[in-house]
Amino acid sequence: KQEVTQIPAALSVPEGENLVLNCSFTDSAIYNLQWFRQDPGKGLTSLLLIQSSQREQTSGRLNASLDKSSGRSTLYIAASQPGDSATYLCAVMDTDKLIFGTGTRLQVFP
Amino acid sequence: EPEVTQTPSHQVTQMGQEVILRCVPISNHLYFYWYRQILGQKVEFLVSFYNNEISEKSEIFDDQFSVERPDGSNFTLKIRSTKLEDSAMYFCASSLSRGSDTQYFGPGTRLTVL
């Protein structure tokens, strides 16, 4: 059974720092991996999708990597801003469904 | 930019009552999903739907739950007899294809069962 874990559970950093969020999964047979952002009490905003055949995806200040063989993905956020404060969720696609991690709650303070 | 919409944003109901949560997926999408998130817990898959049929469902999706696409635009989740433990945020999602495509999520419906 696929399990998705994210560390750290929470992170508080000053504005401007580069940071790395980690996601690990137990079964490497995935279709893709998505990173989402969730603001308190709100829906999920898709940030990046990495296909299982890809190693990396970039969007603006965000870069996500995927190492299927080791069951890991990282989300790199460059030059963090207070507006980046949110919970970041990693999810792996298993046939027809996304399996989510518990998320990393990020706070960026000015 | 097209988006998934959900109504209502918040629904309060008494235990044992039936509720219907509504979603309008992105118009050219073919695959539809329901997920839920109990407060403080992970987002969990409930059901996927394609070509007017359930394609996969989780253990959570028991006989109390049903889904329907009553017309060309709406996708609904019905809970027949709500329990206290059904209180959660329910998210609808849609995608163009299966497996390889981004799933786009709606803003959610917060269901409170009293």
Q: What is the pLDDT of residues A39-94, one digit of tens each?
A: 987 889 999 999 999 999 999 999 999 999 999 999 999 999 999 999 999 999 98
Q: Do A89 and B104 touch (CB under 8 A)?
A: no
> Measured between CB atoms, which of B41, B56, B104 is closest to A96?
B56
Q: What is the pLDDT of residues A27-39, one digit of tens each?
A: 988 889 999 999 9
If you measure CA to CA, which chain A residue comes closest to B98? A96
Provide CB contacts within 8 A for B40, sequence distance 6+. Answer: none
DSSP B15-56: TT--EEEEEE--TT--EEEEEEE-TTS-EEEEEEEETTEEEE
Q: What is the pLDDT of residues B9-31, one digit of tens each?
A: 999 999 999 999 999 999 989 99
DSSP A45-77: EEEEEEETT-SEEEETTEEEEEETTTTEEEEEE
Exposure string for A26-48, b = 16+ CB within 10 A, e = fewer: eeeebbbbbbbbbeeeebbebbb
Q: Do A100 and B33 touch (CB under 8 A)?
A: no
Which residue ranges in chain B fall short of pLDDT 70?
none
Per-residue CA distances from B62 to A68, B33, B57, B59, B86 (Å): 33, 15, 9, 7, 12
Shortest Cα distance from A99 to chain B (angstroms)? 7
> Measured between CB atoms, which of B45, B104, B110 is closest to A97?
B45
